Amino acid sequence: MTIKKYDAIIIGAGIIGNSIAYEMSLKGQKTLSIDKLGGSGFGSTAGSCAIIRLYYSSPEGVALAREGYYYWLDWNRYLNVTDPDGMAYYKNTGAMVFKSEGNDNLKNIMKSLDTLGVGYLELNPEEIRSYLPQPDLRSFHPQKLMDDPGFGKATGKSVNGAVFVPESGYVSDPKLSTHNVEMAARNVGSDFLFNAEVSAVLQKNGRVSGVSLQDGTEISAPVVVNVAGPHSYLINKMAGIEGQMNIKTRALRVEVAHVPSPEGVDWEKTGIITSDSDLGVYTRPETGNHFLIGSEEPDCDPLDYVDPDNYNTDFTDQNRVQAIREAMRIPGLPIPNKPQGLVDLYDVSDDWYPIYDKSSLPGFYLAIGTSGNQYKNAPVVGAFMSELIQYCENGIDHDKNPMKYKMKYINHTLDIGFFSRNREINQDSSFSVIG
């Protein structure tokens, strides 16, 4: 049974998928977003830490984050809609990134920030004290697991210093923000279909022609966009293109710990984002006056690649080891006997940079490998992906002549070829959630 035809089908109703739907609809395209779950942002977006930060190891990463930052500042006006469920909002906290040998004492990051004109403070170790509650600033590098005899023992008298970027923070509710974009997209003509699982990517005359659903429904469209998050590699296999990509994606299981603030500290109100490469963890203030603590994937932490439809959703020792690492820096941090936080999935590429690209199948596009560090970039990704699709559908070969995107808020032109599926692995990457 075939139902209504569309100009484009978007597989996945997370924050990036909905942003693409919104931007394509603004250009007059009739889009249908399909998600196997019950609503927008119900998948890995709901588990996002929703951190908005500008530090990346490449100028391209900083430029994308810088542009995205302004969308969040202008959120209500950008979407031009009032969501009856409420509007997500951005909260500025600032972000402090620790220097270490592992990140070359932030030389590349500071150079990239300088290139894009992002202001920051370079802090010596003693200056860090004013940003954290009674910290222990000894070095604990390299990171270790709890069964290592050296776990928790200082290895140096002091960390190397840090960089503080004032223009950083987080979005109040990632799931709500995704629903906000759905409302905006519907307002300009987008359709959404939930609890519907794609079973096949249809092809005709050498190009994509739509999708088939598990219930046998076929939906026609000359453009299909894979924004399926941790399931993206499965959709690529359906389309028969995965073997023709140099960079591939996988689903990675991750844990985030929630730990109460030290006694007398209102971290929810006064806290900042931290990226502590000496300890291998990042933190963010969390609702309920908690620290949210995630791993920066140091060498000792195992990478748990999983089947996105069948993985362990229970906490493991990883939750506790992240919490204890942060307690090395903040000795007053209480560690609960019962783990708190969440278990979710990242959609990770081979070099932890996203793939924003066409594919070898005409009409089939990719916005994948985005988990962990691309939530903040969703609005600008929606903007340039809508242009990339037009660019390619007008007959220009993006592989040979990569599209250059002139950004809306900052005076910068981004070479979208940087995010090619056929790039070589970016050796400047942190190969972690930092990107």
In a domain, 428, yes or no: no
Structure tokens at 294: 């995630």
- Assess whether 284 and 412 both reside in one domain: no
Report which DSSP code applies to 156. Answer: B
pLDDT, tens only, 98-154? 999 889 999 999 999 999 999 999 999 999 999 999 999 999 999 999 999 999 999
User: Which domain, by its residues, includes 406?
Assistant: 2-86+173-248+351-419
In a domain, 432, yes or no: no
Domain boundary among 319, 349, 379: 349
In a domain, 225, yes or no: yes
In a domain, 268, yes or no: yes
- Assess whether 161 and 260 both reside in one domain: yes
The pLDDT of residue 1: 65
Q: Which of 161, 26, 4, 157 is nearest to 81 (CA)?
A: 26
pLDDT band (50, 70, 90) for residue 351: very high
In a domain, 202, yes or no: yes
The pLDDT of residue 149: 96
- Output the domain CATH number for residue 105: 3.30.9.10
pLDDT, tens only, 189-214? 999 999 999 999 999 999 999 999 99
- The phi and psi torsions of 69 (rounded to 5 degrees) equal -55, -40
In a domain, 330, yes or no: yes
| Three-state DSSP state, 19 | helix
- Assess whether 6 and 49 both reside in one domain: yes
Average pLDDT over residues 289-305: 96
Name the residue with tokens 């659903």.
Answer: 213
- Assess whether 243 and 255 both reside in one domain: no
- Assess whether 216 and 362 both reside in one domain: yes
In a domain, 331, yes or no: yes
pLDDT, tens only, 60-93? 989 999 999 999 999 999 999 999 999 999 999 9
The pLDDT of residue 2: 64
Q: Using H for helix, E for strand and C for coil, what is the string for 320-388?
A: HHHHHHHHHHCCCCCCCCCCCEEEEEEEEECCCCCEEEECCCCCEEEEECCCCCCHHHHHHHHHHHHHH
pLDDT, tens only, 395-429? 999 999 999 999 999 999 999 999 999 999 978 77
Domain boundary among 330, 349, 368: 349
The structural domain count of the chain equals 2
In a domain, 57, yes or no: yes
C-beta of residue 421 within 8 angstroms of C-beta of residue 349: no
Strand-pair partners of 171:
90
pTM of the complete model: 0.97
- Assess whether 262 and 277 both reside in one domain: yes
Alpha-carbon distance 51 to 90, whole Å? 9
Please give the C-alpha separations between residue 329 and each of 136, 144, 167, 282, in angstroms, as whole numbers.
5, 15, 23, 12
- To the nearest whole number, what is the mean pLDDT of the chain? 96
- Output the domain CATH number for residue 77: 3.50.50.60
